[in-house]
Every structure is written in C-alpha cells, then in structure tokens.
Amino acid sequence: MGALFIVSAEDARFAARAVGAARVQFARLGLPDLIEHQCPGWRILHSGYAAGGPDLRISRPNGSAAVAGTMTVGGGMGLAALQDLLARSGPPDFHREELGGQFAAIVQRAGRSFLFGDWFGAFPVYHDAGRRIFSTSLLAALAAMPRAALHRQAVYEFAFNIAPIGNHTVVEQLSLLAPGDVVELLPGGDTVSHHQSREQDASESGAPVGVQIERLRDVLDTTIKAHASAASRGVRCPLSGGIDSRLAFAAARAAGLSPDLYVYGPTGSCDVRIARSIAAGEGLPLDWFDQHDGACDAEAFAATVERNFHQSDGLPNFGNIFDAGGNAVARDARHAGGALAMSGGCGEVMRDFFRLPDQPTSVSRVARTFLSRFSADDASADFDGAAFVSALAGTLGSAIGVDDLHRPMPRLLIEQLYPRVRCRALFGREIGIEARYGPYLMPFLDHRFVAEAVRLPMALRWAGRAEAMLLAAIDPRLAAYPSSYGHHFAGPPSRRHRFDEWASRSRPAWLRERSYRLRRRLGATGDEHGSVPASSHMGRVIDLSFPHMRAFFRPERVRDPALWRRIACLEYFAGWMAAN
C-alpha cells in the first residue's frame, strides 16, 4: 500500500485500543514497520510498500503527506510529486493538481488535514459510521471495532455477484469512502466532508474515428509515463490470449518501458499457448505460473488458508483463500524487488460490457439482466430475490446520479456503470491487495483515460473494434499475432466474434435474467478461478455445518462450486469476526 490507519484521538482509550489492534493486524500482512505520527485530534499509522518501491511519505516544514496505493501528481511519482502536492492549499483538487492512479492519501498543509481517495474510489478506504476510524485494510478496521455484524445485502452480493457494489461492505458497521468525498480531519477529532463532483461527459464523441483513437493513445501514453519513475526497479506485465494485457504491454513499451512478461494458466491452455507464441516472436522471455497448481497436505492446509486470509484482507475476489498458496507466489513474483506491476484490468471500458441493445436502457434493467446471477433455492427461506435486485438497482442509480430506476437512460450513461460500479467493486479489492506489496498500474482505470473511453460510440465498442484499432495504432506488429478470439487485432473482428456478441445482445431481458438458473438446471456450472478442496481439508478450516452462513444460505443445496467456495470464505470470515 503500503497502508494507512487513522483514528480519532478524542477518546484516548478507544484510540489506544484501535491503534494496538491495527498494529497486530498489519504485522500479519508482513508490512514494514508502521510509522506513527499525529495531527491535532488524530493518530495516524502509515507503512510503505512491503516489497519496496517509490517513497509514499514526505514531511516538510510546510506540511506532510502519506499515501497508500499508487498516486501520481503533476505527471510524476515519489518525493518530488509529494512535494508538489504540499505546495498547494485547501482541499485537494484532481484537476488543479493533476492527480492520477488508484490510492488513498492524507495531506496536512497550511494547518489543515485532508483524507481523500482516487477519482472512482477504487482503492478501498473503510470507515465506521461515526467516522472515528479510517483504514485501508478491512480486517484492521474490523479488529479495531468494538462490535460488528454482517450486512445481509452485502453478504448476498459477495456470494452471488463476486463482490459487494457501492459503499457498503459485508460488515454492517463499516462503509467505503464514497467517490468524491474529501474528509477534513478537525482538531477536535471530528470530521467534515468536502464533496467534489466526479461526473464525466456521457455524450457520444462526434470526432472522426481516427481522432478518437489518437486521443486514447495520447492519454494512455501520458498515464503510463507518469508512473515511469516507479519502473526503476523493474516492470512486470501479464500477457494472455486476449487484448487487454497485450494493449497494456504495447503501451508500456511505446512509453519507453521494458516490461518482463508472464502468463497464468494450465499448460496447453489458450492463454499460455498464445502468450508463448507472442514472446517467441518478439524474442522475449516469458515467465509462466499456474496459480491453481499443487495442493497442500491436510496438516499444512489450515496454516496456508490462514495466511491467505490475512494476506488477501479477508474477502478476496471469488473467495479464493483455499488455494495451496499459488496466488501468493504469483503476487510476490509480480512485486519482487519493488517492481511496478501492470494490469490490463478495466480494458472493457472500451467495449460493450453489458451486451444490451443499442438503445436507452434503465438501471433497473441492468440490475435484472446483469446482476441476477442467483438461484433463490441456494438462499435461506427469508431471502427476497426481488428486494435484492431492487437494492442493486438503487446502488447503480446512485453511481450515475439517476433517481428514476425505471426510466430509460442514454446508452453511454449506462456504460459508465462499468468503471464506476463494476471496476470499483471488482478491481478495487485487487488494487487494495496488490498495492500493499508494491506499485500497481491499472492504466485503463485512470479517470482521464476513462473520460475518453466512455464517449466511444457503441458501434466502435462492438467486438472490441476501438480497442483493436488502438492496439494496431500503437504496435501493429503485436496486433497481428493470433488471439483467443480466433482472429488477430490488426484488422476487423471476425464474423464469428461479431455474431457471438450480436447473439448476446439479442437475447430478451427475461431470458438473460433467468440464464444462471437455467444453466444450473442443465448441469454443473464451471469454475475458472480455482477449485474446492476435499471435505477432509475444508473440515479443518470451517465447520461444514456452516453455523454462520446458514442464516443466509442452504449450503447443502448449492451445486455451483464457485458459489460454494465464496460461501465457505464468508463462513471463515464470520468465524474470524466472532473470535476477534
């Protein structure tokens, strides 16, 4: 993240207990020694990256700043960028100070102290209802709480849709700092919020296609170059059979970086085969990891799961704390020596993510067609599916400023739900975990790149046309290699690719809403994010009668292994809550 933990000192005993609990929890994460400093009314803990990297803290006569995550200021990183941040006054401003990246930061300048996050609120900052605690770690915040209970809606969102959306968390008493919230820490231990608009233009760009692609290219280049100072210890970039990672690699290379490449997947998989072909064609080495390879013996399993649980801050995406440690090995390799790790995440901001007809659409319809991935038979008898989806629609509407959830909204406004909701929830957890170890670059989620991408007309989004054109403009040689789509990216998408997307868009809403339940009836669902260990192993880490989750689910009815794993992860989390 390193890490940030801030607690009001108004109640000295409460603050002392909270700081002590946070120190214990951060030590379990393997972070460097926490540095404590104070501002009037507040105690602050901060740590740098676990594996090394650019400086994240500065203290000068005119103020101080501490960052968790990866923040750029005025086109750079490190001490010079932080010094530039201190030269200002008043609440931080993204436009005036040219802030970028995904981060949480506290800045003390001109006698005032401000806590704020990135544009989309992707890097998680957890706080209690009274705003006495702010933490970049869910478990550290929870450990400091005097009491806590599970948030019913968020538990179902994690289980059914991989991650809770919006500002709530699986803990009733903890919320995420909302996008645009700048919290001023007052001397008496209280806070005041300065909300800043995070609106972006939702109208279709009227510029020629070539101009739109050039704008995307320019802002992508600027974003990557702003992180270049973090690349002095190396850069590591994924490669696969898709387009997002290949575009990230091409853009990094065009910006003057020389990334080390790696690929994930079983031997012989499409991703591994294509990545090896590209690396061989470019004369570059390629590291290979099979994150799900290997197994723990029953004796070592409990210790491995406990380590995974803490290193992933309790609830990783897909609930995968039950692997043999392969994810941790791959993560450590990405950040070894303080290297800058790149990601192609959020590349779908340039594509048609929701696969809905090209016409005005309501947020209620998005919730019903995209977030209704559940079977009520898996839930307890008091689960209300309609209320669950209605709550999801309300969160979607809030994210884009829509009050009437049933009113059709412009299609490109609906597309903004992808970066504002989906990316924030899914990639935010990933960013928060990864950036604890070293600098982490997700260029397609930078707000300046998103501002250009969300204005792409739908016709350029279909079958990844605009993204392929951007890749070909940056590196036509890389674009010409085969892909997992069955065609290269140096020309238009194949007829099969276009047909597959058209078929998805053409499915009626009522069918999409029921598609998950229909697949369940037709047979077992797949699980591409790991597997469930044998009951002989699982029985060592959770009570297989699910005493905590039985209030929410009927585990014996669950036939989806990925869903079962997420419920098991929630059971482990709830058990940890009860014991702490």
Q: Which residues of the chain have pLDDT under 50?
A: none
pLDDT digits 0-9 by tens, 256-273:
999 999 998 888 889 999
Q: Using CA atoms, how far apart are residues 315 and 142, in angstroms rounded to an integer? A: 13
Strand partners, 195: 181
DSSP string for 18-76: HHHHHHHHHHHTTPPPPEEEEETTEEEEEE--SS--S--EEEETTEEEEEEEEEEETTB
Q: Using CA atoms, how far apart are residues 78 and 130, in angstroms rounded to an integer? A: 33
- Comparing C-alpha atoms, which of 86, 159, 71 is closest to residue 123? 71
Other residues' Cβ atoms within 10 Å of the Cβ of residue 84? 15
Those residues whose C-beta lies under 8 Å from the C-beta of residue 80, and which sit 6 or more positions away, are: none
* Contact between 75 and 222 (Cβ < 8 Å): yes
Other residues' Cβ atoms within 10 Å of the Cβ of residue 156? 23
Give the pLDDT score at 294.
Answer: 56
pLDDT digits 0-9 by tens, 99-152:
999 999 999 998 899 999 999 999 999 999 999 999 999 999 999 998 899 999
Q: What is the dihedral of CA 90, 95, 97, 100, to 10 degrees?
A: 120
Q: Does an H or E element contain 561, and which?
A: helix 561-579
Q: What is the pTM of this model?
A: 0.95
- Which residue's structure tokens are 């029985």? 539
- Comparing C-alpha atoms, which of 215, 250, 209 is closest to residue 465? 209
The tokens of 532 are what? Answer: 């469930």
